[in-house]
Amino acid sequence: MARNACDFMKELARRQHAFWIDILFWWIGVVVVVSVVSAYVSKAPELLLQAIVYGSFIITVYVLGSRVRAVQCPYCHRHAGAIPIWRYKFLFCKACGKRIECRQ
């Protein structure tokens, strides 16, 4: 849990970085699974492969994104509501409305 605004911003940046690394690992996994399924099952329906890719993407982004959105505000200690794909210099907490910014 963040004790001050600077710790909060560092934690947010760390979780966003982890989000993108995990998306990269997901992409590598999808390439491997689709390659293996296509190689061993020559008549694999395209709809099945699309369902695997899109379904796993939706589940992955939801789970990984919830880790970023769950970073707690240093003022009200509720979820600040950060979005994983945005880069922040400051953030307005969605729960209390205060501006969270590291001024160092």
pLDDT in tens, 18-61: 999 999 999 999 889 888 877 787 776 778 788 888 898 999 98
pTM: 0.80
Residue 92 forms beta bridges with which residues? 99
Main-chain dihedrals φ then ψ at residue 92, nearest 5 degrees? -90, 125
Q: How confident is the model at residue 5 (pLDDT cuts 50, 70, 90)?
A: confident
Contact 98, 74 (CB under 8 A): no
Domain boundaries, the chain: 5-101
Residue % of the chain over a pLDDT of 90:
27
